[in-house]
Structure 1
Amino acid sequence: MSGAVVGGTNEPVTGRDLETSSAGAMALVTAFIDATEALVCIIGADCRILFANPALQRFTGRSPERLLGQRFWEVYVVPEHVELAQDAVARALDTGRAHPQEADWLTGEGTRRRVAMRNTVLTDDAGRPFAVATVGIDVTADRQREERLHHRAQTDLLTGIPNRAALFDALHRHLGVAGGPDVGVLFCDLDRFKQVNDEYGHQVGDRVLTEVARRLVALSSPGDVVARFGGDEFVLLRPGADEPTMVALAQRVATTVLAPFGGLHDQPVGVSVGVAVGRAGETPDEVIARADLAMYGAKSHHRRRLPRG
């Protein structure tokens, strides 16, 4: 602000001047709007841009001359959000209230960025709305970081498939839909896995678990969830499946897991599989408990197990 003029004098402006002068206050506001990385835009009642700060100019790759007077949705709104954006501005001007929003914006290069918006309705001296002011913050990196953290929190680090938390989230979604389709569940527990760990070590055991996860994913269909429940236990969830379908799938799982493990060891590994079908209104715990109980029944009766050598 050095060299700026306040009140018609030629004296350099100081911080004290700005604090005590209305002109200085306006200069502060202008300096802030020019310097901030926030995307500041004012949209008139005809949805044309009345003001765009330098950050928005850089974001859109447009000069003020190419921004002012343009309909805002033709500048930075992604195509699928145009109608929603138009409706939001119309409602704000009609009611005098604007709400925070978050949406994708287009840069001048055509790339998408996630922008969090704080919107304010501007009114004239009679209290009539005449424009909407938007302050947008690019939160793309924040959302990407949150997505990575969420993915990490719901992924089994050894096998790379969903973990127990992700499984229960999926069950909650499917079982929580009133009148929704049934959900088939296979609870799989590896047989003789402890012997593999004891004889060949945990490194080989980890490779076996990773290969079992890969085989289960290969058997899955779009919409299925294959998760590591814990230890040597896996769960396969199939929305819309009935019991005969899940029983047939369980037989395929048993055959697939039984196949040799490519020289990792010569100790056979099998799997005991419990089948359950969850229905809308049940809790995930109830369905998993039923499948777990069925798995123990299969194991205790030596179903789908290799004969002992």
Structure 2
Amino acid sequence: MTGRDVETAGALALVAAFIDATEALVCIVDADSRILFANPALQRFTARSADRLLGERFWEVYVVPEHVEPAQDAVAQAMATGQAHPQEGDWLTGDGVRRRVAMRNTVLEDGAGRPFAIACVGIDVTADREREAGLHQQAQTDLLTGIANRAALFDALHRHLDVVVGPDVGVLFCDLDRFKQINDEYGHQVGDRVLVEVARRLSALASSGDLVARLGGDEFVLLRPGGDESSLAVLARRVATTVLAPFGGLPDQPVGISVGVAVGRPGEAPDEVIARADLAMYGAKSHHRRRTPRD
């Protein structure tokens, strides 16, 4: 054995040791999607020995049902073009648990340059994606009330309005009456409890698909996809009645609310719809003040 042979053997041993030791899920599949190689990590993931994996079609082993057809298409395209692309999808463990896996795929070619197999290195990114989802949820949640915040509200409006054709979206812009007076007389802790309770009451009125958000301060918005002016007017009256109900700790200080209604249509800017609802709210508040001088 020459020195080069020794070096080659040593390099191959290192590669084998790495593949055996890594937590990455490594497999090689042929043009027919049958598994040619599965490293120990993949064996543990699937709860199958190498003997039970070799020769099986990979999409019958660990691919979730709804991803089978895309996985088959990806293999066919890679073998036809000689190019494989990074992917991410759900895999099933041997216990039937879904895990999110990021894949880096490489087409293997023979000496004549013809594709004959695809090597896949998968990394379980489930914890990463759950952490990212949690951070996203936190970034879109009002810390005091636990409902959606301003960022989540405008994200939802963009989803509903940034389309050519689609349903309208109803907007109820709600602003508490006499809230500064409550803060001044009872303190900010009581004021915070009022905001939390208002958020709870608005959420109780929301239907499936609605979004209740705190825009800031004592301003709240309720989005109702598909809402029209007539049904929104009915909802606005229910909001006013519900919020006016007595609050614990405030026996002599009813909490009122002024509600402005607007309907956003596909193609409109979210700022314009909110501004229209805000203007309608100020009209309602002025009406309240004319009827109740002490406001």
Fold in common (TM above 0.5): yes
In 2, distance between residues paired with 1:191 and 1:72? 63
CA shift at 1:36, angstroms? 1.0
In 1, distance between residues paired with 2:141 and 2:293? 34
Aligned length: 295
Indicate if the aligned counterparts of 1:270 and 1:305 stay in contact, CA closer than 8 A: no
Which of 217, 220, 231 is the aligned partner of 2:206?
Answer: 220
In 2, distance between residues paired with 1:304 and 1:144? 51
Q: 1:146 to 1:304 in 2, by over 3 A?
A: farther
Aligned to 1:148: 134
CA shift at 1:263, angstroms? 3.6
In 2, distance between residues paired with 1:220 and 1:161? 12
Aligned to 2:274: 288
Say which SS state the counterpart of residue 238 (structure 1) adopts.
strand
CA shift at 1:264, angstroms? 4.2
Indicate if the aligned counterparts of 1:50 and 1:68 stay in contact, CA closer than 8 A: yes
Q: 1:41 to 1:132 in 2, by over 3 A?
A: same
Indicate if the aligned counterparts of 1:116 and 1:136 stay in contact, CA closer than 8 A: yes
In 2, distance between residues paired with 1:253 and 1:301? 17
Aligned to 2:114: 128
In 1, distance between residues paired with 2:157 and 2:188? 31
The residue type equivalent to 1:247 in the other structure is A
Q: Deviations over 1:235-274 (max 9, x none)?
A: 0001111111111111111111000113444311100111
Aligned to 1:185: 171
In 2, distance between residues paired with 1:93 and 1:240? 46
In 2, distance between residues paired with 1:40 and 1:241? 51
Say which SS state the counterpart of residue 241 (structure 1) adopts.
coil
Say which SS state the counterpart of residue 25 (structure 1) adopts.
helix
The answer to whether the aligner puts 1:31 opposite 2:17 as a matched pair is: yes
Q: 1:305 to 1:210 in 2, by over 3 A?
A: farther
Q: 1:268 to 1:161 in 2, by over 3 A?
A: same
- TM-score normalised according to structure 1 size: 0.91
Aligned to 1:194: 180
Indicate if the aligned counterparts of 1:41 and 1:52 stay in contact, CA closer than 8 A: yes
CA shift at 1:94, angstroms? 1.3
Correspondence 1:242-253 to 2 at 5 A: 242-253=228-239
Correspondence 1:12-51 to 2 at 5 A: 21-51=7-37
- TM-score normalised according to structure 2 size: 0.96
Indicate if the aligned counterparts of 1:224 and 1:238 stay in contact, CA closer than 8 A: yes
In 2, distance between residues paired with 1:170 and 1:21? 60
Say which SS state the counterpart of residue 86 (structure 1) adopts.
helix
Aligned to 1:166: 152
In 2, distance between residues paired with 1:161 and 1:52? 46
Which range moves more in the overlay, 184-193 or 72-81?
72-81
The residue type equivalent to 2:225 in the other structure is P
Which range moves more in the overlay, 167-176 or 53-62?
53-62
Say which SS state the counterpart of residue 198 (structure 2) adopts.
helix
Indicate if the aligned counterparts of 1:200 and 1:265 stay in contact, CA closer than 8 A: no
CA shift at 1:202, angstroms? 1.2
Aligned to 1:204: 190
Two-structure CA RMSD over aligned residues (Å):
1.9
Say which SS state the counterpart of residue 288 (structure 2) adopts.
coil
